[in-house]
Each structure stands twice: as C-alpha cells, then as structure tokens.
Amino acid sequence: MEEAKLNFAAAKLTVKTILNDEALQAEARKIEPVTLYRIGSPRTETRPAFWQAYSRGIRVGVSGLLLLIGWVMFDRQAYPYAQSMLFVSILLGGYAVAVKGARNLLRFDFDMNVLMTVAVTGAMLIGEWKEAAVVSFLFAISEMLETYSMDKARQSIRSLIEITPQTATIIRNAQEVTVPVEELIIGDTILVKPGEKIPIDGEVIDGATYVNQAPITGESMPVEKTAGDSVYAGTLNQQGAIWVRVSKLVQDTAIAKIIHLVEEAQAEKAPFQAFIDRFAKYYTPIVMSLAILIALVPPLLMGGQWNRWIYEGLALLVVGCPCALVVSTPIAIVTAIGSAARNGVLIKGGLFLEQADSIRAIAFDKTGTLTKGEPQVTDVFSCKAAYSEQDVLRIAGSLEKASEHPLAKAILQKAAEMNVEVAVPESFSAIPGKGAKGVVEGTAYSIGNLRLFEEMDGLSLLDDNLRDQVSHLQAAGKTVILLGTGQMVIGGIAARDPLRPESAEALRDLKRAGIAKTILLTGDNRQAAEAVANLAGVDEYFGDMLPEDKLTRIKELKNRFGHVAMVGDGINDAPALAAASLGIAMGGTGTDTALETADIALMGDDLSKLSYTVRLSRAALRIIKQNIGFSLFIKLAAVLLVFPGWLTLWMAILSDMGATILVTLNALRLLRHR
C-alpha cells in the first residue's frame, strides 16, 4: 500500500496500491457495505443488510411507540410498568448518544452529546421519566435526519457511475468486439450506434449524428457531430452511427472528472457546529460544578445541614439540566422541515435549513430550471408571397413527420395547435449536421439550418434581409430552421426553450426576500443565456459553461458574497450544487444525481418555493434564538433563587418542564408557515 486517504463527506477510503493486491481486496470486502474503486471501474460488491440499513429508523420508531405507551401508563398511575417502558424508550433513542457523551465527558469535551446525556440522566435521577424519554426521542429524530441526508448525498457518486456504459463495441481486425470500457486504450476505434450511449471520451473519425450531451454540458438542444468533433462518455447518440477514436482513458473522461469534483466539493464543506454545541462546552460543566459546590461547600465550610444543601444542589442540577435548551433547536428544525415537506420543499437536514438564512446570491442553471427544457415554436414566417405561414408550417410538418430531430416534435405540435394538416412525405432523407430533404405533394423541399442553404447552387432569396432576420431571431436565443426548394427559400421556423411561467416572478420575490444577486450559468451559448436572463430578470449571466466552469464560477461567487446557493437539475450541475453553500435541485425534472447531491429539492419544480424556503429558514432561526434565550432566562432566574434557599425541588421540576413545553409550543408555530 502506497497511500490512504479518507473522505468523511463521501464516506470513502481511497487506498493507492498495486492492482492485483488480492490480500488488500479480501480485507476490504469484509467491510459492509463495500465499494471497491479500481481505476476506471468502480463496482459495488455488496449492499448493506436490511438491519444495517434501517436499524436507526426502527430504533427511533420503537422508541416513540414505547414513549407513547409509557406516557399513557403514567396517566393511569401504573408507575412500575410506565418506568420500564420509558427506560427502554430512552435506551433505544439515546444509548448511542449517551455512550459518546460519557466518552467525551471523560475527555472534558463538553459537546452536544454531553449536554444530551446530562439532560436525560438528570431527569431520570429526579424521577422525571416522561421528560427524559421525550428529550431522548426528539434528539434521536434530529440525529436520524442528519444521517439520512448525508447517506443520500453519498449515493450521488453511484448514480453518476451508472450513467456510463460498462462495455464498448471496438473495431479490431475489421471485426466488432465487445469489451469492458476499462480495457480501452488511447487510439482504439469504437462504434456507437443510434440510440446508444457513448462509452468513453473520444473524437469522431467517421459518420455524422446529433448527440444529446446535456448530462455533461447542459445544452438544451442536441449538438451535431461530424468528423473531427469531440464526444463525451455518458452522452446519447440520437441518429447516425459514428466511429470514434478513443482520446482518454476511462478514469480521465469528463464524467470521471465530474465524479471527482462532486467528491471534492462535498469534502470541502465544513462540519456544522451549532451555537448550542459551542455553548454546551461552557454551560454544562459550569452547572455541574456549581451544583457540586452548593451541595458540598456550605456543609463543609459553614456548618450547613447536609440534607438541605444536597437538596439545593440537586434542585440546581435539575433546573440547570438543559432539557428545554436541548429541545429548543431540534424541535424547531424538525417542525420546519416537516412544514417545508408539506409545501413541496424537501430539506435534507437542519444544517441546510440554517444555511438558507445566510444566502446572499443564487445561481441558476437554464435548461429545465429557469426554462421548461422542451423547445416550442415561437415564429413561423414566409419569404415568398405564394406561400403563407400555414403553407410553411404544413410543408415543414410533413417533412418532420418522418424525422427524429428534437425540433420535429415542436413543429408537429405547433401544426396541431394551428389546425394545420400534415401529410406523410413521399420520400425523406436526413442530411447529418445540416437538416433534411424530402418530397411533399410532388415537390422536393429542403429543411435545415442556414448553412444548408448557403451551400445550395443557384439559390435565391438568401439575401441580407433574410440573414438579418435569422440573426435577430438567434440573438433572441432562438433556433432557426429554413424551408425551401432547390431554387429559393420559402420561409422559416424559429423555436425556443420557453421560460417557466413562474420564473420571472420567483426571481422578483427573491429580491424582496433579501437576495442581493441572481446569476445564470448555462452550457448554452451566450445569446441564449442573454435572452433568458433578460426575460427572467437575472442580474448576471454566463454561457458556454462546462461543469468545471460552473464549479469555478460558484467558488468566485462565494468569494464575492460569502454564501451562495446553486439551483439546477442536471448531472452537469452536480459539482456546482455540491460546492455551493446550498445546493437546490428541481425535484420533478431533475436527475437522480442532482437530487442526491443537492441539499434541498423543489419537488414540484416550483421556483416560487425558493423565497418560501428562505423565509422559512429565517423564521426557524428566529424561533430557535427565542427558545434559547427563554431557556437561559428561566435557568438564570432559578439559579438566583437557590442561594436564599427559595428554590424547591418541585419548583425546579416545574420550571424545567414548563420551559420545555413552552419552547416546544413556540417551535410548533412553524407548522403554520406558508
């Protein structure tokens, strides 16, 4: 073994060693679950057993059930049975925390686990079993939510790996041979047929097609690929067969880089340390020490009665036992997360709820985020008096009826909306990278981009006015296709990926909620980025961005604004989502990788939920601060009553339980947040 590296965020241990070290691999397989990361071939060897995967949730569920049973028994005065039920509930919900708390106490590391342990133990010592069980149960729920969100984030790496094919069709000795992708070397020639995913990065050496490379670049429209063009692993070949020369090994592909970027970005996130954790380092030992001093000093140095001062020390320990303080944060977080879920926002943990309050800038992907992700026809125009707009749409629709081009569906949909009947073309053939041609009603037509018609001999009407019209439409972020015969252009059609209806208002609402800057980051060209930015009201925009470019831009924005959110829906957004202070995914149209990498998911793809989330975060933090302040005030008031001897044990119990109930009721106000 040459090197070992542990990534806590990804739960990944990377060991650099020789490939055939079977002894090391045998030891690795003993760990459950195991993911062996060979170069270029990550493989999941085993999956966690049922109990291992769901034990925490089962324990918390049983703990809650026993808590309910014990509470009912207490009301019916069946005390021995009630205590037994509540003790088992506490054991199931808080055993792991108690073990860590005891260990940290011995190290004089007074963290949240120590605070929790002291709270529950103190409550049990004075017989407040119900309170101890409630605190233990609520804290267990909070811990489970944090663990769940981290586990979901780790699954993003697996889904990234699964988008790339595991095998490739290679041409060797004029024969097609299927081999594992990790066996490919630079210079090999592979065949990618229509409808297949490209297995590795390379350069097209023969053939022409359209490739949907949204997973890598985020481009809304498939890109034409001909000889000399680069292609990426994990992208989809939509039309013609292509022969590709391998240019990178499998571990160096663009998708492999995205996997690496996601892991590194997740690892960069600093561990969350709430105010209550920092406060507990000082509060807990002070209260414990003060209780001991009150119990010992007066009898030893001032001749006080042992019974009285032990009672006062116990009362101080009870009132100082930070049950309300412990509950104040998790109950508010759990309530806010539940309220968000009912309103279509999935928040994966308390850390992310708190982060939403500090966001000052939000970056957006374009396709599928600010826009719908489906092209729609926006303009139909005629260039010759003999042809109306309906004629242009009818002929174009007839040609596209035999086409698999992404714009074909948009054209046919527009024809249906305008009640224009289309016919099956008498003949049809695609012209890769340019368009298509066919015969409709006995006349030969061509349909495609400007370049297709520029290459036609003897063509008329391709004048400056038409070029200006095409340029104007393209400047508006639209894709333009022309229709004509061999002698003239008769018209054209423009299409655009439309803005979501709520996008513009959602961005204005974010401004009202205090977001200082909105930014658009897209793999589409600058013209398309500018057009969408103007329509949506985005402050800044950047086009032609690859995943690593988005990641770099997010880091720059964090330097400018401190806390930045990223909203996206594609695999190409995953590194930026992970690197942002807060990653937000579109839950309806978003890929699994985007959803799992993000910290928050908008399950209905409703951007108006963004401002709701920001306001909910602020309300939750406001209530948490209120709860903490109230809890500390009650503790201080009770401590002041100890010294004149006015604090009785029942007053201590009442004040502590009353504070716990009040902070809980205050937190439940978040359920009404809309």
Q: So which residues are the catalytic ones?
A: 365
Whole-angstrom Cα distance, residue 325 to residue 305? 32
Strands, E, within 336-388: which ranges? 345-347, 361-364, 376-382
Both tokens of 241, joined, read 């067969």
DSSP run (H or E) holding 501 = none
CA angle 452, 458, 461 (to 5 degrees): 70
Distances (CA, A) of 104 to 101, 108, 114, 227, 655: 5, 6, 7, 64, 28
Whole-angstrom Cα distance, residue 326 to residue 505? 39
In a 3-state reduction of DSSP, which class is residue 196? coil
Q: Mapped to the 3 state alphabet, what secondary structure does 579-599 carry? A: HCCEEEEECCCCCHHHHHHCC
Whole-angstrom Cα distance, residue 585 to residue 570? 8
Cα 305 to chain centroid distance, Å, stands at 61
Residues 6+ apart with CB under 8 A from 579: 261, 265, 268, 551, 554, 555, 558, 566
Residues 6+ apart with CB under 8 A from 11: 150, 154
Q: Strands 12-16 and 435-440, how do they pair? A: unpaired
Both tokens of 375, joined, read 């092209």
Whole-angstrom Cα distance, residue 654 to residue 634? 11
In a 3-state reduction of DSSP, which class is residue 398? helix
Distances (CA, A) of 434 to 209, 339, 447, 456: 10, 52, 8, 12
Cα 25 to chain centroid distance, Å, stands at 32
Instruction: For helices 323-342 and 350-358, give the axis angle rounded to 10 degrees.
Output: 80
Q: How far apart are the first and last CA of the chain?
A: 56
Both tokens of 110, joined, read 């007074």
Q: Strands 564-568 and 582-586, how do they pair? A: parallel
**Does residue 175 come out as left (phi exceeding 0), alpha (psi in the -120 to 50 range) or beta?**
beta
517 close to 361: Cβ distance less than 8 angstroms: yes
**What is the CB neighbour count within 10 angstroms for residue 14?**
12
Provide the sign of the torsion angle of the four alpha carbons 587, 590, 595, 599, taken in this order.
Answer: negative
**Does residue 528 come out as left (phi exceeding 0), alpha (psi in the -120 to 50 range) or beta?**
alpha
Both tokens of 656, joined, read 């502590």
CA angle 18, 20, 23 (to 5 degrees): 95
Distances (CA, A) of 635 to 274, 313, 642, 656: 20, 14, 11, 8
Residues 6+ apart with CB under 8 A from 124: 87, 90, 132
Q: Which amino acid is at 352?
A: F
Whole-angstrom Cα distance, residue 666 to residue 661? 9
DSSP run (H or E) holding 421 = none
